[in-house]
Amino acid sequence: MNAHNPRDTRPLAESDLHDYQRFCVEFIEAHPQCGVFLDMGLGKTAIALTAVAHLLYDSFEVSRVLIIAPLRVARDTWIAELGKWEQLHGLRLERVLGTPKERIAALSRRADLYVINRENVEWLVRHYAGRKLPFDMLVIDELSSFKNSRAKRFLALKKVLPQFSRLVGLTGTPAPNGLEDLWPQIYLLDRGARLGRTMRSYLDMYFDTPNSWLPYKRELKPGAEEAIYRRIGDICVSMRAADHLKMPERVDNVVEIRLSAREEKLYRQMERDMLLPYADGDVLALNAAALAGKLLQLANGAVYDEFHNVRVLHDRKLDALEDLIEAANGKPVLVMYNYQHDLARIQQRFGKYSPENPSGVRELKTAQDMEDWNAGKIPVAVIHPASAGHGLNLQAGGSTLIWFGLTWSLELYQQTNARLWRQGQQAETVVIHHIITRGTVDEDVMQSLSEKDRSQAALMRAVRARVEARK
């Protein structure tokens, strides 16, 4: 598949790289440790592989490269990218996946690149315990998945950082929940040289906790944001897709629904009491986090009780979804759901896909589903945001996306939207609908996503590369 046009199967040469891609290749080569923060759709895999090929066989600075990636990306994306570009055809890649026996066998085979899923990082470090890792370069695909400094994958990787002479971190969402997420990622790049050796020292340096009763609620100190950007600016580069690619227009639309007096009363009861009593099983939230999840479900129209039975509150989002599908007038629509009961209710309302019912709602799960969607064969598709993230191209199948239920995760939200709003989208306009229940947690989620996006956008602007057009 051609990186510039997903319908074109012509192999690409290195001369086909965009100017901004060549800039990033050179940036990686010039910086032994660096972060490359690229918006979705800018081709970070091709950039990293081209730089790696140069370091392996032009300058001979590295000999073996370890790539850590999300599972599907590790399985499919990196090997697929090797086949798209002529300059990469000579690179040998082993996928360190599957059972422990299969992983060990893959590690024993001679290759240039070894790609492993992030869930097995701890296993890999244990496997080489007491021995030097056989890799001298590390590429972390989706660096933001290492944003938790207490996670086992972070702690395992931290132990072996000195063994890599080169390290590249790739992500489109470096600060998905704010700048507090940044320290672990930058630590992996420079081992604490810029933002401090510990998470605690980073928080103490740049954040205040104005409310003693909410010690987890931190605010940036005056001037701290700019100071952080200055500290990391020499090893990080960022780019936005809209700055470098011909992107379709994006229209974000909010479809507001209102609860009836009875429905709102039940919602407020749950919000106040953390409990909705039923004769055969209560809807119960044991803490604030659980309550937020229950309220998000109620806003969608249904909620699980303590026995995992579904309690339906309303069908108002289904009605709004039906209106949007009808308004699409036969154009394919992609619907995002968050809970299994949302999926079941959508399929019940509009009909579940089967060979006997090809016009029914079809969940995108298999490679064949994705292929059929991109071929325009599916009028209404549904997908979970966690399945619509890394390494999935859906832009050829449609240009209308509907959020039936929202996610708190900025990373999943942005990556999901980027499945359609990206390079290769043939439509002039991509429309993203958000079905929002008025007066509910839906409004809080939208506000949170907006605030997180502003914070991340500021970070991206601060370290954005200025790429001059090359003649």
DSSP state of 73: I
Same domain for 280 and 368, yes or no, is no
Q: Give the structural domain span for 378.
A: 247-258+314-438
Q: How does the average pLDDT of the chain come out, rounded?
A: 87
Q: Is 361 inside any structural domain?
A: yes
Domain end (from 269, 290, 313): 313
Same domain for 92 and 227, yes or no, is yes
Same domain for 92 and 24, yes or no, is yes
Domain end (from 289, 313, 337): 313
Same domain for 172 and 44, yes or no, is yes
- Residue 24 and residue 47 in contact, taking contact as beta carbons nearer than 8 Å: yes
- Residue 173 and residue 144 in contact, taking contact as beta carbons nearer than 8 Å: yes
Identify the pLDDT of residue 103.
Answer: 97
Same domain for 173 and 199, yes or no, is yes
Average pLDDT estimate for 53-68: 96
Domain end (from 277, 296, 313): 313
> Worst-scoring range by mean pLDDT, 146-160, 185-199, 278-292, 379-393?
278-292
Identify the pLDDT of residue 436.
Answer: 94
Taking 70 as the threshold, does the pLDDT of residue 404 lie above it?
yes
State the pLDDT confidence band at 36, using cuts at 50, 70 and 90.
very high
The rounded percent of the chain whose pLDDT value lies above 70 is 92
The rounded percent of the chain whose pLDDT value lies above 90 is 53
What CATH number is given to the structural domain containing 420? 3.40.50.300
Identify the pLDDT of residue 279.
Answer: 58
Q: What would the two tokens of residue 27 be?
A: 């940036």
> Worst-scoring range by mean pLDDT, 107-111, 139-143, 342-346, 428-432?
428-432
Identify the pLDDT of residue 216.
Answer: 55
Q: Is 223 inside any structural domain?
A: yes
What are the pLDDT digits (tens) for 80-97? 889 889 889 889 999 999
What are the pLDDT digits (tens) for 430-470? 999 999 999 998 998 999 888 888 878 877 787 776 554 44
Q: Is 307 inside any structural domain?
A: yes
What CATH number is given to the structural domain containing 163? 3.40.50.10810
Taking 70 as the threshold, does the pLDDT of residue 210 lie above it?
no
DSSP state of 386: G
Identify the pLDDT of residue 465.
Answer: 64
State the pLDDT confidence band at 133, using cuts at 50, 70 and 90.
very high
DSSP state of 424: T
Q: What would the two tokens of residue 126 be?
A: 């244990």
Same domain for 229 and 306, yes or no, is no
Which of 204, 225, 223 is closest to 215 using CA atoms?
Answer: 204
- Residue 404 and residue 345 in contact, taking contact as beta carbons nearer than 8 Å: no
Same domain for 238 and 251, yes or no, is no
Same domain for 219 and 306, yes or no, is no
Q: Where are the alpha helices (DSSP H) in 175-278?
A: 182-190, 199-206, 224-232, 241-244, 261-273
Q: What would the two tokens of residue 114 be?
A: 């070894």
Q: Is 446 inside any structural domain?
A: no
- Residue 14 and residue 148 in contact, taking contact as beta carbons nearer than 8 Å: no
Identify the pLDDT of residue 298.
Answer: 92
Taking 90 as the threshold, does the pLDDT of residue 156 lie above it?
yes
Average pLDDT estimate for 205-212: 76
Same domain for 252 and 194, yes or no, is no
Same domain for 234 and 276, yes or no, is no
Same domain for 40 and 164, yes or no, is yes
Identify the pLDDT of residue 358.
Answer: 81
Q: Is 171 inside any structural domain?
A: yes
- Per-position b or e across 346-366, b if 16+ CB within 10 A of its CB: bbeebeebeeeeeeebbbbee
Identify the pLDDT of residue 422.
Answer: 78
What is the DSSP secondary-structure string of 84-151?
HBGGGTT--EEEE-SSHHHHHHHHHS--SEEEEEGGGHHHHHHHTTTS--S-SEEEEESGGGG--TTS
Which of 94, 180, 104 is closest to 144 using CA atoms?
Answer: 180
Identify the pLDDT of residue 214.
Answer: 46
Q: Is 233 inside any structural domain?
A: yes
Pairing of strands 362-363, 65-69: unpaired
Q: Which residues pair with 381 in a beta bridge?
A: 334, 362
Any residues with CB less than 8 A from the CB of 195 and at least 6 apart, and which? 182, 183, 186, 187, 202, 205, 228, 231, 232
Phi, psi of 240 (to 5 degrees): -100, 140
Same domain for 18 and 114, yes or no, is yes
Q: Is 1 inside any structural domain?
A: no
Q: Which residues pair with 383 in a beta bridge?
A: 336
What are the pLDDT digits (tens) for 379-398? 999 999 888 765 577 888 88
- Specify the higher pLDDT residue, 249 or 212: 249
Domain total of the chain: 3
Q: How far apart are CA 420 and CA 417, in angstroms?
A: 6
Q: How far apart are CA 88 and CA 425, in angstroms?
A: 25
Compute how many other C-beta atoms are within 10 angstroms of the C-beta atom of residue 174: 25
Q: Which residues pair with 257 in a beta bridge?
A: 437
Q: Is 6 inside any structural domain?
A: no
